[in-house]
Amino acid sequence: MAASAKGPQKLSPARPGRSRVSAKGEQTRARLISAARTLLAGEMGERFTTRNVAALCGVSHGMCHYHFQDRTDLILAVVEDIRPEWISPLEVAVAAPGTFGERAERVVDLLGQPESTDLAHLHSALHWHALNDDRVREALEAEYRRWRAAFVDLFQALADERGGHLDPRPLGEAVAAAVDGLAAAESLDAGIDTGPVLRTLVFTLAAGA
C-alpha cells in the first residue's frame, strides 16, 4: 500500500526505560531457557517442571509463566536454542563456496568433532519428551528435516558439478541416517573414530553415484 502524502510526521517520543525493561525481560527469558537446558540434560522424567525451572533460575513461578505458557513452551524454546550448536554449523559448512569435495571435507571435519555431553543428553531428553508430547515431536521433526536437508544440499553441489543428472536426495538422506547411527554408536563406544568412517561413506557414495 502506498504511503499517505500528508507531510512529515512527528515521531512519538520513546518511553523512558522501555528498552531497559525489554532487555531485562530478554535476559530473564534467556536465563529460564538456560535453566531448562540444565534440568533437561540431567533429568528426563517428571522433575522437569516450570516450577523447578523457575527455582533453578531464581525467579518466581509466575515470572516463568509470564515468558512461557507451560513446560512444552520451555522445551520448544530449548529446541530452538540448541540449533546453532548442531544444525547451523552444518548448514554453513555446506553453503560456503567450494567444490563438492571441499564442502564434503568441511562437513566431515565438523561431524568428526565429538558432541558435547550436555548436547548429547539434551537430544536424548528431547526425544523422550517427543514420545509424550505432540508439539515437541513436531518441533523435533522440523529440526531433523532441516538437518537432513543440509546433506541433500551437499550432494546437490555434486549434482551441479555433473550437470544435474543425479538425484541428491537419497544420497543425502543416507549420509544423514549414517551420521545419526554413528552418534548413537559413539555414545556407547568412545573408541569409534567417526571422521574416517564418514569420509569413506561420503566419497564412496559420490564415486558410485
SS3 87: coil
Query: Positive or negative CA dihedral for 156, 109, 204, 193?
Result: negative
Residue 43's pLDDT is 60
Provide the pLDDT for residue 17: 45
- Looking at residue 39, its pLDDT comes to 92
3-state helix, strand, coil in the chain (%, to 5): 75, 0, 25
User: What pLDDT does residue 46 have?
Assistant: 61
pLDDT digits (tens, 9 = 90+) for 107-163: 999 998 877 888 888 998 999 999 999 999 999 999 999 999 999 999 999 999 998
Mean of the per-residue pLDDT values of the chain: 86
Cβ-contact 29, 67 below 8 angstroms: yes
For residues 187 and 203, give the distance between their C-alpha atoms in angstroms, rounded to a whole number: 25
Is pTM beyond 0.85? Reply is no
pLDDT tens digit string along 18-34? 455 488 889 999 999 99
Residue 45 has pLDDT above 70, yes or no: no
What pLDDT score was predicted for residue 191?
Answer: 73
Higher per-residue confidence, 181 vs 2: 181
Confidence of residue 6 (pLDDT cuts 50, 70, 90): very low
